[in-house]
């Protein structure tokens, strides 16, 4: 079946603009995660959804970042008043949602560049 998909694959924006990044998880996966990967670093956790609710948003760097998952499937990561430091690859992952040993399946990422 289809894997995790993310759109757009690349996004270039200007400092101060608003952006939305979309994630389509694997069908039937109840858990959805957002990570951010800066150049030369490992992915860093942003937020985790179990169904429609954010179970853990402790990784969001500040209140300019927000994510939703209104129907428990597709999720949108929203960044307001973008800054150059927000430039990174934003990765989405999904899993079957049971806590513990289930692996997360990652999408190809959205490369965000803030000029």
Partner 1 sequence: AQSVAQPEDQVNVAEGNPLTVKCTYSVSGNPYLFWYVQYPNRGLQFLLKYITGDNLVKGSYGFEAEFNKSQTSFHLKKPSALVSDSALYFCAVRDHNTDKLIFGTGTRLQVFP
The residue (of 21 and 91) whose beta carbon lies closer to partner 1 is 91
Backbone angles phi, psi at 114, to 5 degrees: -110, 115
Do 81 and 14 meet the contact criterion of CB atoms below 8 Å apart?
A: no
Site string for partner 1, 42-81 (x = CB under 8 A): xxxx--x-x----xx-xx----------------------
The residue (of 16 and 28) whose beta carbon lies closer to partner 1 is 28
- Give the CA distances from residue 51 to residues 13, 29, 30, 33, 81, in Å, rounded to whole numbers and listed in that order: 30, 9, 5, 11, 28
Residue ranges binding partner 1 (CB under 8 A)? 4, 31, 33, 35, 40-45, 48, 50, 55-56, 58-59, 91, 93, 95, 99-101, 103-109
């Amino acid at each position: 079946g289809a894997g995790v998909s993310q759109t757009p694959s690349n996004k270039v924006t200007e400092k101060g603009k608003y952006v939305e990044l979309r994630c389509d998880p694997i069908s039937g996966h109840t858990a959805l995660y957002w990570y951010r990967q800066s150049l030369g670093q490992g992915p860093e956790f942003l937020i985790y959804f179990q169904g429609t609710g954010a179970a853990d948003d402790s990784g969001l760097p500040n209140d300019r970042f927000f994510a939703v998952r209104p129907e428990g499937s597709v999720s949108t990561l929203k960044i307001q008043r973008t800054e150059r430091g927000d430039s990174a690859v934003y990765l989405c992952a999904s899993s079957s949602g049971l806590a513990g040993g289930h692996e997360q399946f990652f999408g190809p990422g959205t490369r965000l560049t803030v000029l």
